[in-house]
Structure 1
């Protein structure tokens, strides 16, 4: 089912809320970086806009957000159409990623339109994306989605499957494997930390196996992004903490 939309009026007061909330997020991210001995410039932030209308994305842009993410190709297309046709001219430089599950029959709706495809969750999908990209003369930047926690409800490679497939994945001509993505169990800080540290350790293993830099670790969401940053995340995916005034942030 599509994510429920937030009931938001994208007016001046909402824009002020977005700017204030962004300052709070950046402050907490900086604290997490400091605890881990990292520089804040090492961590990118995606505003996950799947639950808001395009006008709210424009408000977020004006509040300082520059990179966004969607989880469905159809909604991605709607947001991109808005940016190209109605938004302020400077928003043409906005980055959009796809973070949700991708069906093979939707690949053509995504490739060449997103900066990064986070959810290459199987060898079959990786090969299919590569083949479609080759046919269109494209090379799409991708992440391998890894189910580090082992939860049955989550998609992605098991860690050992990622190890076995990594060399082939990095050799596929239509895609460029830039790193790994994972999601942690909700509501369990210890499990989240173990998941994120597991992703970091797996990335180190795959770098040795493939010789590729694999610089991107996409992990950490609204409830656990500080833990993710402490464990090595280079890209956090933030939805409700960015857009929802009702989200309990303080």
Structure 2
């Protein structure tokens, strides 16, 4: 379990980085929601994060999320994000246990979510802006058609777009990828679709969340910077 003093220091540093990135971008810090990606730590360490006031938690494995949600069953303040690839056969087991799903990228999965959901599910469409073959997501060119295809699903609300940058991307490449997702978001947002308002951008991780904020991120998914003994430096250029 992480030492409480180390965790407090890490969270303070993350908050300071977000504050600085917002100031440099002339943005209100309240426009950025910090998500703690707690996939690498146990329940007790996650509880320490929650005790520090973090209320948005993300997992990329169904079993881990369900385990942690049971652990926190008496805490109604937590917002649960599923950020991993979701197999259709597992949709029924988790879709009603989460508040946000960050990796919608095909119609068959959308159909299964719509079928199993007992409430409207807030989804981000995953867009493969970088074009990496190893990454999931719709291509930028296919995004408009994909959004149109989701209009028939009553239980899905497309709140925004999500992307991940290559691990070894330099600052220029990061700015390009994140700004392109923001452009795509604005195009989708301007259509004023009730089922796809697309007001949000889920982008930026521990290594690049400051760059993502500078390009319009509204949700940042930060993991290792919470739990490393010393927080890694993150770019803000």
Q: Same fold (TM over 0.5)?
A: yes
Q: TM-score, with normalisation over the residues of structure 2? A: 0.92
2:66 counterpart residue number:
77
1:100 aligns with 2:88: no
Q: Which moved more, 1:203-212 or 1:160-169?
A: 203-212
Distance in 1 between residues matched to 2:30 and 2:20, nearest whole Å? 13
2:9 counterpart residue number:
20
Shift of 1:170: 4.1
Q: Structure 1: 5+ residue runs without aligned partners?
A: 1-8
Distance in 1 between residues matched to 2:7 and 2:126, nearest whole Å? 29
Distance change >3 Å, CA 62–CA 125, structure 1 → 2: same
Q: Structure 2: 5+ residue runs without aligned partners?
A: none
Q: TM-score, with normalisation over the residues of structure 1? A: 0.88
Q: Say whether the 8 Å CA contact 1:71–1:98 is kept in structure 2.
A: yes
Distance in 1 between residues matched to 2:43 and 2:109, nearest whole Å? 29
Distance in 1 between residues matched to 2:131 and 2:25, nearest whole Å? 26
Distance in 2 between residues matched to 1:210 and 1:150, nearest whole Å? 27
Distance in 2 between residues matched to 1:249 and 1:199, nearest whole Å? 24
- Give the one of 40, 43, 47 matched to 1:58: 47
Distance in 1 between residues matched to 2:192 and 2:125, nearest whole Å? 14
Q: Say whether the 8 Å CA contact 1:15–1:62 is kept in structure 2.
A: no
1:151 counterpart residue number:
132
2:168 counterpart residue number:
187
Q: CA RMSD in A?
A: 1.5
Q: Which moved more, 1:15-24 or 1:98-107?
A: 15-24
Q: Say whether the 8 Å CA contact 1:167–1:209 is kept in structure 2.
A: no
1:40 counterpart residue number:
29
- Give the one of 19, 26, 29 matched to 1:30: 19
